[in-house]
Amino acid sequence: MLRLLLILAVGLYGETLPTQNGAPLRLVVPWKYGFKGIKSIVKVRFLEKQPVSSWQLAWPQAYGFYANVNPAVPHPRHTQAVEARLPSLFQTMKTLPFNGYGAQVASLYAGMDLRRNY
């Protein structure tokens, strides 16, 4: 089911994908936090262990690998239990687990402790 959410982009608006949008190839994955998304694919490597991201290095208590899938685990500065949808920052709604894609992606996290692996 996850494959239905992914877009492999090589172009934009009928033109070749520009550098500012991730050329030569961009994997577009709908998710809550854009800063954690893939910006551009220039090389593919397969590793035995998951590498530490720059966000995890900068502030490991706030930016664990699964930080955006479990709203029950608060960010050190604020709650993730509610979110505001643009254009209004004043109307909030409850943040859904897996950012509302639970039916499609929850099975990928089966057996993981999303509080411990935050």
Boundaries of every domain in the chain: 2-36, 54-109
Region 27-53: mean pLDDT is: 76
Band of pLDDT at residue 1, cut at 50, 70 and 90? very low
Q: How many CB atoms lie within 10 A of CB 69?
A: 24
- Would you state the pLDDT for residue 53? 79
- Mean pLDDT to the nearest integer, 85-105: 84
The C-alpha atoms of residue 99 and residue 107 are separated, in whole angstroms, by: 14
Q: Percentage of residues in the chain with pLDDT exceeding 70?
A: 85
| Mean pLDDT along residues 78-101 | 84
Q: Does position 83 have pLDDT exceeding 50, yes or no?
A: yes
Q: What is the mean pLDDT of the chain?
A: 80
Q: What percent of the chain has pLDDT over 90?
A: 10
* Residues whose CB falls within 8 Å of the CB of residue 95, separated by 6 or more in sequence, listed in order: 32, 71, 80, 81, 82, 83
